[in-house]
């Protein structure tokens, strides 16, 4: 299987480095300058400094070159996925597209697989998601991810093609569960960061993770996900990583909210838009997601952290 990675951010570059250990990989950067700089320095200094690009990895800014390969990994932020698909629809039509983003589209409430189906119905799609920091993958450290694909045979082929020495892939046909787990855990990570940032303690964080997981299940199962998927790498696994590590940008945004300090708006934080998308969807579906609602209130500046904690602690007492 010949491979291209579309999007030369931290994650796209890390995946390309790992996959290049198996054979030639083409990495597409949208700017000519970035592609030239990466080819010259053999590093992605802007997004993933300190990791050398192997010789079998070529960087290009020509989508026609990247689209010569049949299987394309799409590693752009969730809110940019539709633009990418529409901008390059002619080139991507009929390809196998593996979404590598985590989130829910704000304008539609759709996850990555559904956005691909909406924009390019002829494309074959899959999702690669789970607990993994880009710098861990690029450093060759062990990671395990979920490869979700509704077409079981294609899923098996992709699992074989994308598994590398340090990247172990488990497959699933539950694309809804994988999409929802990867998206919703980022919202809970923001909440956990806020609690730690405000000095409310690790017991409070454990409570938020557990009740946050209950919220993730409530939404995902209502959409048709399987509970085992939520309990796997793409759900529980990624929540555990992102809610406990300062390596996570979502968690770091939460820390800033809890400490009352500014956060660099240029950093990709998927959970912010996703929290708003999920809260709107929960209203439409008549689902109660109190932690998500508090995260939205914090992000919008409508709620202080103390008010959010009071709102959560004074909810009616109920069975677990
Ligand atoms: N960084 C990480 O450790 C991990 C990231 N992810 C996911 O990967 C996705 C991408 O994140 P990162 O690579 O970390 O972000 P990043 O901020 O490092 O890079 C994003 C890249 O997307 C490109 N881009 C933005 N808009 C675009 C458009 N309209 N067309 C084409 N390219 C566009 C940017 O130029 C940039 O190269 C996110 O959904 C994230 O949740 C998943 C697992 C790990
Ligand atoms: O999804 C990730 C780890 O699995 C990356 O987390 P952040 O996007 O919060 O940095």
The answer on whether 10 is annotated among ligand-binding residues is: yes
Residue 10 alpha carbon to ligand 1 centre in Å: 6
**What pLDDT does residue 69 have?**
96
Confidence of residue 104 (pLDDT cuts 50, 70, 90): very high
Question: Residue 229 contacts by C-beta under 8 Å, 6 or more apart in sequence?
Answer: 146, 148, 172, 174, 177, 178, 181, 220, 235
Considering the candidates 95, 185, 281, 318, report the single residue annotated as catalytic.
185
Q: Is 246 exposed, middle or buried (0-12, 13-18, 19+ CB in 10 A)?
A: exposed
Domain ranges, ordered by start, for the chain:
3-173, 185-314
**What pLDDT does residue 145 have?**
98
If you write DSSP's letter for every residue of 85-151 in order, what string do you get? Answer: HHHTHHHHTTSEEEE------TTT---HHHHHHHH-TTSEEEEEESS--HHHHHTT--EEEEEE-SS
Question: Residue 79 contacts by C-beta under 8 Å, 6 or more apart in sequence?
Answer: 103, 105, 106, 273
Confidence of residue 320 (pLDDT cuts 50, 70, 90): confident
Cβ of 244 below 6 Å from ligand 2: no
- The CATH class of the 3-173 domain is alpha beta
Residue 81 alpha carbon to ligand 1 centre in Å: 10
Residue 108 has pLDDT above 90, yes or no: yes
pLDDT tens, 128-183? 999 999 999 999 999 999 999 999 999 999 999 999 999 999 999 999 999 999 99
% of the chain exceeding 90 in pLDDT: 97
**What pLDDT does residue 314 have?**
87
How far apart CA 272 and CA 187 sit, in angstroms, is 7
Cβ of 274 below 6 Å from ligand 2: no
156 annotated active-site: no
**What pLDDT does residue 165 have?**
92
**What pLDDT does residue 270 have?**
98
pLDDT tens, 32-91? 999 999 999 999 999 999 999 999 999 999 999 999 999 999 999 999 999 999 999 999
pLDDT tens, 131-145? 999 999 999 999 999
pLDDT tens, 284-315? 999 999 999 999 999 999 999 999 999 998 89
Residues found in the chain? 320
Cβ of 252 below 6 Å from ligand 2: no
Bridge partners (DSSP) listed for residue 4:
26, 72
Chain mean pLDDT for the chain: 97
pLDDT tens, 189-224? 999 999 999 999 999 999 999 999 999 999 999 999
The answer on whether 83 is annotated among ligand-binding residues is: no
How far apart CA 127 and CA 39 sit, in angstroms, is 28
CATH architecture of 185-314: Orthogonal Bundle (1.10)
Residue having the nearest C-alpha atom to atom 40 of ligand 1: 101
Q: Which atom of ligand 2 is nearest to the CA of 129?
A: 4
Residue 2 has pLDDT above 90, yes or no: no
pLDDT tens, 219-267? 999 999 999 999 999 999 999 999 999 999 999 999 999 999 999 999 9
Q: What is the pTM of this model?
A: 0.98
How far apart CA 192 and CA 35 sit, in angstroms, is 36
End-to-end CA distance of the chain: 47
Q: Which atom of ligand 1 is nearest to the CA of 47?
A: 18
* Structure-token pair, residue 299: 């992000």
Residue 1 has pLDDT above 80, yes or no: no
The kind and range of the H/E element at 275 are helix 270-285
| Residue 78 · residue 101 · CB < 8 Å | yes
% of the chain exceeding 70 in pLDDT: 100
């Amino acid at each position: 299987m010949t491979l291209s990675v579309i999007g030369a951010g931290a994650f796209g570059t890390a995946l390309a480095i790992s996959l290049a250990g198996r054979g030639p990989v083409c990495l597409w950067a949208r700017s000519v300058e970035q592609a030239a700089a990466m080819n010259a320095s053999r590093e992605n200094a802007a997004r993933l400094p300190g990791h050398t690009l192997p010789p079998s990895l070529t960087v290009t800014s020509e989508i026609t070159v990247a689209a010569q390969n049949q299987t394309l990994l799409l590693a752009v932020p969730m809110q940019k996925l539709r633009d990418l698909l529409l901008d390059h629809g002619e080139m991507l039509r009929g390809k196998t597209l593996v979404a590598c983003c985590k989130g829910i589209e704000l304008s539609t409430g759709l996850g990555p697989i559904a956005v691909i189906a909406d924009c390019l119905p002829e494309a074959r799609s899959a999702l690669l998601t789970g607990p993994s920091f880009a710098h861990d993958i690029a450093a060759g450290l062990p990671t395990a991810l979920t490869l979700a694909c509704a077409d079981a045979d294609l899923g098996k082929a992709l699992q074989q093609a994308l598994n590398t020495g340090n990247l172990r892939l488990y497959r699933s046909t539950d694309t809804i569960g994988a999409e929802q787990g990867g998206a919703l855990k980022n919202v809970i990570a923001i909440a956990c960061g806020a609690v730690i940032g405000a000095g409310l303690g690790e017991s409070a964080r454990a409570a938020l993770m557990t009740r946050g997981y209950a919220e993730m299940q409530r939404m995902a199962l209502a959409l048709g996900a399987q509970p085992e998927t939520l309990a796997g790498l793409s759900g529980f696994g990624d929540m555990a990583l992102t809610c406990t590590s300062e390596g996570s940008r979502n968690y770091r945004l939460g820390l800033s909210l809890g400490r009352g300090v500014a956060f660099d708006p240029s950093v990709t934080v998927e959970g912010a838009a996703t929290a708003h998308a999920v809260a709107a969807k929960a209203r439409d579906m008549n689902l109660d997601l109190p932690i998500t609602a508090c995260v939205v209130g914090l992000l919008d500046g409508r709620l202080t952290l103390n008010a959010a904690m009071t709102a959560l602690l004074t909810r009616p007492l109920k069975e677990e």
